[in-house]
């Protein structure tokens, strides 16, 4: 499987299971309706686990533009590959959001609150304060990306699509990867972020996870929907990228 196809599939799985658990908890007449934040955070953690387990061996399972940018910033991924990975991740996120809508279409129709329909697709702050919201997303993403740097797994994907067990960075041999062996740890990292830091903004920590489904919310014929809150849409993009580059800088400082 090509790494780009793997990123599409992995990100689609992430969104199908991640936004799927949000739909299950929030939408009217779902069997999981009103089961709460703990179910949502566990669902997202498992979504990451499944996505990484499935495609880690093919692409490194970034499934997140912030992870891709952070790895490139730390010298663990080729910058030339970054745009292609991000495009694949965005496409995968849109496909996953579409599948969630199809699976829960009847429940979207039964749900009267347009804010809930938007919340199934993308994040929104509990208290809208853009500087604070960006900071929260950045801090949460620092935790994610910094943890990723220290996970062991299948290896490192170079610009030729080859899997390497180690690469040289600042004269040292560094092992890196998000292969199948790292699927559970990274899922637990996301679970921990959701439980501890998810309250202020809903912990997007992934530009594709938020922007791809937000675009789909705008495009899909969802009955009774509201606007897609484009005024906030930049926060889950900028915050995670700042966090990812900050994590990369910290990682390099500690080498």
Tell me: the pLDDT tens digits for 207-216? 999 999 999 9
Share of the chain above pLDDT 70, in %: 88
Give the pLDDT band of residue 183 (cuts 50, 70, 90): confident
**Predicted pLDDT at 171:** 55
**Is residue 91 within 8 Å of 211, Cβ to Cβ?**
no
Instruction: Name the residue with tokens 């604070």.
Output: 132
Q: Report the C-alpha gap between 224 and 231 in whole angstroms.
A: 20
**Predicted pLDDT at 255:** 84
Pairing of the two strands 163-164 and 166-169: unpaired
Superfamily of the domain at 3-254: Glycerol uptake facilitator protein. (1.20.1080.10)
Give the pLDDT band of residue 151 (cuts 50, 70, 90): confident
**Predicted pLDDT at 154:** 41
Instruction: Name the residue with tokens 């940018």.
Output: 69
- Output DSSP code: residue 81: G
Give the pLDDT band of residue 156 (cuts 50, 70, 90): low
Dihedral angle sign, alpha carbons of residues 211, 217, 219, 220: positive
Tell me: the pLDDT tens digits for 72-110? 999 989 999 999 999 999 999 999 999 999 999 999 999
Q: What rounded mean pLDDT belongs to the chain?
A: 90
**Is residue 88 within 8 Å of 8, Cβ to Cβ?**
yes
> Quick one: which H or E segment has residue 172?
strand 172-175
Of 44 and 162, the structure prediction assigns the larger pLDDT to 44
**Predicted pLDDT at 176:** 46
The model's pTM: 0.90
> Taking Cα atoms as reference points, which of 192, 224, 237, 234 lies closest to residue 120?
224
Give the pLDDT band of residue 245 (cuts 50, 70, 90): very high
**Predicted pLDDT at 178:** 47
Q: Report the C-alpha gap between 14 and 155 in whole angstroms.
A: 21
> Taking Cα atoms as reference points, which of 9, 21, 122, 120 lies closest to residue 56?
9
Q: Report the C-alpha gap between 4 and 84 in whole angstroms.
A: 7
Q: Where are the alpha helices (H) located in 27-129, listed in sequence order?
A: 37-59, 65-73, 82-103, 105-110, 114-121
């Amino acid at each position: 499987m090509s790494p780009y196809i793997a990123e599409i599939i992995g990100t689609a799985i992430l969104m199908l299971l991640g936004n799927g658990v949000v739909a299950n908890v929030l939408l009217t007449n779902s069997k999981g309706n009103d089961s709460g934040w703990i179910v949502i955070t566990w669902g997202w953690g498992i979504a990451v686990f499944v996505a990484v387990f499935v495609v880690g061996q093919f692409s490194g399972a970034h499934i997140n533009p912030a992870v891709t940018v952070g790895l490139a910033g730390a010298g663990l991924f080729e910058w030339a590959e970054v745009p292609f990975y991000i495009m694949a991740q965005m496409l995968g996120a849109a496909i996953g959001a579409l599948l969630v809508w199809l699976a829960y279409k009847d429940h979207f129709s039964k749900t009267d609150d347009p804010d809930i329909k938007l919340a199934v697709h993308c994040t929104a702050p509990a208290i809208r304060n853009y500087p604070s919201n960006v900071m929260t997303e950045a801090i949460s993403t620092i935790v994610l990306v910094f943890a990723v740097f220290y996970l062991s797994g299948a290896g490192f994907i170079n610009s030729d699509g080859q899997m390497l067990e180690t690469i040289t960075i600042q004269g040292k041999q560094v092992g890196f990867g998000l292969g199948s062996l790292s699927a559970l740890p990274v899922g637990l990292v996301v679970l921990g972020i959701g439980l501890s830091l998810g309250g202020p903004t809903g912990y997007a920590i992934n530009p594709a996870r938020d922007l791809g489904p937000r675009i789909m919310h705008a495009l899909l014929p969802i009955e009774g929907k509201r606007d897609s809150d484009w005024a906030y849409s930049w926060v889950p993009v900028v915050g995670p990228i700042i966090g990812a580059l900050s994590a990369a800088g910290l990682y390099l400082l500690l080498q």
